[in-house]
Amino acid sequence: MSATGSIDIRVDFSDSTARQTKLLSKLLSINELSEFTGATVAVTGGTVGTASASVSIEPTDYRNASGEIVSFATAPTRIGLRADGAVPVTLTDTDLGEFKIASRSGSVAVTRWGSSSPGNGLTIQAAGGTNTYTILLVRDS
C-alpha cells in the first residue's frame, strides 16, 4: 500500500515604499512544490500538555485504506506539525537532534528528517498549557 500526494509551500512577502514619483518594491519568496508517488504516509494527533510525551512511529496508530497499521522502520523523510490553539506545541527529534519545530494557532511547521541514519524518537510538548495537534509523516519511495 502506498500513497500519492504533494507538498506545496509558498512563502511570499513584499516590502514596498512610496517615493514622490515612484513606488519601490522588493519581493521575498521561497517556494516548493514536490510530488510524491509510492510514499508511505501516516497521520497522528491528540492533545498534549506541558509534560513531554513520546510519539510512536513504529508503529503509528494510523491505519491505511487497506486497514493496515502503518509503521516506519526507518524514519520518515518529511514531517509536518500543526497545532490548533494559541499555546505553542513543539516536536523534537530526540534520537538525532536533527530538528525541533513548533506550531501554534494553525500554523504548519515542516522539516526534513533523516539526513543520516534515521532514528525514530519523537517527543511532543506544549509550552504553558494544553493544545491539540496533528502530525503528518511522509516517507518517500
Does 20 sit near another protein (CB under 8 A)? no
The residue from 1, 47, 52, 130 that contacts another protein (CB under 8 A) is 1
Q: Note whether 57 and 69 are within 8 A (CB).
A: no
Phi, psi angle pair for 70, to nearest 5° = -90, 130
Does 51 sit near another protein (CB under 8 A)? no
Does 129 sit near another protein (CB under 8 A)? no
Helix H or strand E segment including 44: strand 23-48
Instruction: Give the footprint of another protein on residues 109-128 (CB under 8 A).
Output: 109-113, 115-116, 127
Instruction: Give the footprint of another protein on residues 83-112 (CB under 8 A).
Output: 88, 90, 93, 97-104, 106-112
Does 21 sit near another protein (CB under 8 A)? no
Q: Note whether 75 and 94 are within 8 A (CB).
A: no
Query: Given CA atoms 118, 102, 15, 31 in this order, what sign does their dihedral have?
Result: positive
Does 41 sit near another protein (CB under 8 A)? yes
Does 24 sit near another protein (CB under 8 A)? yes
Please give the single-letter amino acid code of residue 121: G
Q: Note whether 126 and 49 are within 8 A (CB).
A: yes
Helix H or strand E segment including 75: none
What is the contact surface with another protein in residues (CB under 8 A)? 1-17, 24-26, 28, 30-32, 34, 36, 39, 41-43, 64-66, 78, 80, 82, 88, 90, 93, 97-104, 106-113, 115-116, 127, 134, 136, 138
